[in-house]
Amino acid sequence: MKYRKFEEGECLYRNSLSNDESVKDWQLEGKAKLSFNEKRLQIENELDPDVYGDDAHWVFWCPVNFPDRISITWDFYPIREPGLCMMFFSALGRNGEDLFDPQLPKREGKYPQYHSGGINALHLSYFRHKHKDERAFRTCNLRKSYGFHLVSQGADPLPPVEDAISPYHMKLIKYDAIVQFHINDLPLLEWEDDGRAYGPILGGGKIGIRQMAPMVAAYHNLAVHRAILK
């Protein structure tokens, strides 16, 4: 497959994710423990998934509304598995509301609240080491909501935690109908939305980090640039 070429333009947002001050305006949905080891944001579940099930998972939202045609980059450090990591993007209310509009249904980290609730979003899962079948055949999955639509898959090169040489540099591009994903500059997935099969093409919106318990991971050097199609 021949991937389209993009380059980074103007920086719209940059966050080292290195201390409490860096995420003071971020919004957590669900319960999680945040710490800053070696000046990196480390996140793990607060609730035991064996006791609380889906209530143990969470989403951590950046407060900024981003336009379309962006490149999102971050450094990823897997620390403990099993688990799953995900990035939400282009997230808005289903009628265009701000994601934090108090009129939207309450969200507390349960996945159905995000894929079949009051919002539209794209969501890319890239460390799918939660269940045995995911670990046996590892893929990156791109879904589009509203609805639980699996729209594209790519191979996941990330190893088990014990073999990881972190950080892994992640790049996620949203450019009109195109979504593209790379790890360490290796292109893994490109999908073009036809705007019909799964609803209209999504535009700008918020981005957010999700983990499924008992995953522990760290994040550093989040940046959002304008994406330029070469």
Q: For 156-188, how does the pLDDT look when each residue is reduced to its tens digit (9 = 90+)?
A: 999 999 999 999 999 999 999 999 999 999 999
Q: Which ranges of the chain does DSSP label H, i.e. alpha helix?
A: 49-52, 112-115, 132-136
**pLDDT value, residue 164:** 97
Mean pLDDT over 129-134 rounds to: 83
Other C-beta atoms lying within 10 Å of the C-beta of residue 45: 23
**pLDDT value, residue 143:** 98
Number of domains in the chain: 1
**Can you give the residue range of the structural domain that contains 59?**
6-229
Buried b (16+ CB within 10 A) or exposed e, 78-105: bbebbbbbbbbbbbbbeeeeebeeeebe
For the record, the structure tokens of 158 come out as 């990330």
- d(C-alpha 210, C-alpha 62), whole Å: 12
Tens-place pLDDT, residues 70-103 = 999 999 999 999 999 999 999 999 999 999 999 9
Is residue 1 one of the residues assigned to a domain? no
CATH number of residue 77's parent domain: 2.60.120.200
